[in-house]
Amino acid sequence: MSTISIQSVSKCYQNGFEALKNVNTEIHSGSFTVVLGPSGAGKSTLLRLINGLETPTTGAVRIGGEAVEEHKLRHIRSRVAMVFQQFNLVDRLSVVTNVLTGRLAQRSWVGSVLYLFRGEDMAIAQRVLARVGLTDKAWSRADKLSGGQQQRVGIARALAQQPKVILADEPVASLDPVSSEEIMTLLREICDRDGITVVVNLHQVELAKRFADRVIGMNGGRVVFDGPPAELSQQTLRTIYQREGIEDDNSLDLALAYA
């Protein structure tokens, strides 16, 4: 089971900024959830708490009933993979080596430092590269690929972890519409075929409506909507995207234009 449980979670940084305010939600195993909201709503902080990259100020995060705590991070991160907006690849390394880094959590500390991989790791890397359609690019340098191809390498690296959960933080923000469609279709297919729980942060309302089972809308560090994409009415989008005290909000206008 890879159900994600977020219980009374708040996150306040040292400068006093409260990124999350008493968030309570549960994300069910095998579901495809999109988190929508304007910049600064707390979406990225939420994903970083699930992966243990941040620690809640109050409350608890659990995955499959197991608390996300500092002394368990290596184990948690072996089960929870991240896909990043800026790909986070090592440009000078080959595609297959970047994918193999997804296996590091399965290796000893020495093996991780020295990039020592086993034959089974290479077999997994080749299999996931075929899955994302990049077998022919295995030995190309990562920086020679297009943005869409680089993001597919990021997804292959995540799959190489053999995770229970994939968290994708704005995975199509820097991609053209065709590449965005390919990446979202790939993530949806992984969720459906593998039963992997997928949580995606997005700004694009139309993609959320087409691909999500469920949408969590955030604004000002709080959950302001939680339901199926069919319920994303114009009024709901105003609730999600309107910034407090700002009458003319570009993010709201864009959200409504593409809803």
Q: How far apart are CA 254 and CA 205, in angstroms?
A: 9
Q: How far apart are CA 34 and CA 168, in angstroms?
A: 9
Count CB-CB contacts under 10 A for residue 224.
17
Is the predicted pLDDT of residue 128 greater than 70, yes or no?
yes
pLDDT of amino acid 73: 78
Give Cα separations from 28 to 165, 199, 214, 244 (angstroms).
Answer: 11, 10, 10, 31
Is the predicted pLDDT of residue 234 greater than 70, yes or no?
yes
Is the predicted pLDDT of residue 111 greater than 50, yes or no?
no
Encoded amino acid at 88, one letter: N
Is the predicted pLDDT of residue 214 greater than 90, yes or no?
yes
Domain of residue 175, residue span? 4-257
pLDDT of amino acid 109: 42
* Burial grade of 64 (CB within 10 A; 0-12, 13-18, 19 or more): middle
pLDDT of amino acid 253: 58
Least confident window among 99-108, 163-172, 180-189, 195-204 = 99-108
| Residue 210 vs residue 111, higher pLDDT | 210
pLDDT in tens, 45-93: 999 999 999 999 999 999 988 899 887 878 887 889 999 999 999 999 9
In the block, residue with structure tokens 């469609």: 181
Question: Could you give the angle at which helices 177-194 and 147-160 cross, rounded to 10 degrees?
Answer: 20
Least confident window among 20-24, 81-85, 203-207, 251-255 = 251-255
Size of the chain in residues: 259
Give Cα separations from 257 to 124, 238, 250 (angstroms).
Answer: 42, 12, 10
Is the predicted pLDDT of residue 185 greater than 80, yes or no?
yes
Give Cα separations from 131 to 94, 121, 126, 179 (angstroms).
Answer: 17, 15, 9, 16
H or E segment to which residue 25 belongs: strand 18-27
Encoded amino acid at 206, one letter: E
pLDDT of amino acid 45: 96
In the block, residue with structure tokens 């986070």: 88
| CB contact at 8 A, 232 and 209 | yes
Q: The domain that contains 160 carries what CATH number? A: 3.40.50.300
| Residue environment code for 157-183, b if the CB has 16+ CB neighbours within 10 A, otherwise e | bbbbbbbbbbbbbbbbeebeeebbbbb
Q: How far apart are CA 243 and CA 245, in angstroms?
A: 6
Is the predicted pLDDT of residue 113 greater than 50, yes or no?
no
Is the predicted pLDDT of residue 209 greater than 50, yes or no?
yes
Least confident window among 36-50, 105-119, 167-181 = 105-119
Q: Would you give the distance in Å from CA 191 to the centre of its chain?
A: 13
Q: Count CA within 13 A, CB hemisphere, residue 21.
A: 12
Least confident window among 12-16, 117-121, 164-168, 242-246 = 242-246
Tally of domains in the chain? 1
pLDDT of amino acid 259: 54
pLDDT confidence bin for 250, thresholds 50/70/90? low
